[in-house]
Amino acid sequence: MEDVLVVGAGPVGLFLAIELVRHGIRPRVVERRTQHQPLSRAIAIQPRTLEALDGSGVSERLIAQGLKVRHLRFRSGSAELDVPLDELPSSHPYVLILPQSDTERELEERARALGILVERGVELVHLERGDGPPRVLLHHLSDGAEELRVYRWLVGCDGATSAVRRWTDGDLRGREAGVRFLIGDFRAELPLARDASWLHTTGDGLCAIVPLPGSDDRWRLIADTRDTDPIVAEADLLRTVLERRAGLRAEVRQDGWVGGFSVTERAEEHYRRGRVLLAGDAAHTHSPIGGQGMNTGLQDAHNLAWKLALVLRGLADESLIDSYEAERRPVARAVVQQTGTATRFAVARGALPQLVRDRVVGFLGGFGLVQAPFLRRAAEIDVSYRSSPLSGEHGSSPSSGALCAGDHVPDVPIYRTLRTSSLLRSARHVLLLFAGADRPQTTLARLLELARQTARTHPDTVDAWLVVRGGEAPEGCADEPTLLLDPEGQLHQVFGAGVATAFLVRPDGYVGWRCHPVDGAKLRERLSWTSERTPG
* Cis preceding linkage at 398, omega within 30: no
pLDDT tens-digit readout, 498-521: 889 999 999 999 999 999 999 999
Task: Give the domain 392-530 fold.
Answer: Glutaredoxin (3.40.30)
For residue 186, pLDDT beyond 80: yes
- Percentage of the residues of the chain whose pLDDT score is greater than 90: 60
Residue 517 gets which letter from DSSP? S
Query: Cβ distance 136 to 47 under 8 Å?
Result: no
pLDDT tens-digit readout, 347-380: 787 887 777 877 777 667 665 545 566 677 767 7
Task: Give the domain 2-43+100-171+269-349 fold.
Answer: FAD/NAD(P)-binding domain (3.50.50)
- The residue among 197 and 415 whose pLDDT is bigger is 197
- The residue among 233 and 201 whose pLDDT is bigger is 201
**Domain 175-263 indexed as CATH 2.40.50.140:** no
Output the 3-class SS for 454-492: HHHHCCCCEEEEEEEECCCCCCCCCCCCCEEEECCCHHH
| pLDDT score, position 367 | 58
Q: Give the lowest-confidence range in 69-83, 365-379, 451-465.
A: 365-379
What does pLDDT average to over the chain? 89
Confidence of residue 228 (pLDDT cuts 50, 70, 90): very low
Q: Give the lowest-confidence range in 78-82, 213-217, 330-334.
A: 78-82
Query: Cβ distance 168 to 129 under 8 Å?
Result: yes
Residues 160 and 174: their CA atoms lie apart, in Å, by 13
Confidence of residue 455 (pLDDT cuts 50, 70, 90): very high
User: In whole angstroms, how far apart are CA 289 and each of 133, 144, 255, 257?
Assistant: 38, 41, 22, 19
* Average of per-residue pLDDT across 131-144: 94
Q: What are the extents of the domains in the chain?
A: 2-43+100-171+269-349, 175-263, 392-530
For residue 534, pLDDT beyond 50: no
User: In whole angstroms, how far apart are CA 23 and each of 19, 112, 219?
Assistant: 6, 16, 38
| pLDDT score, position 319 | 94
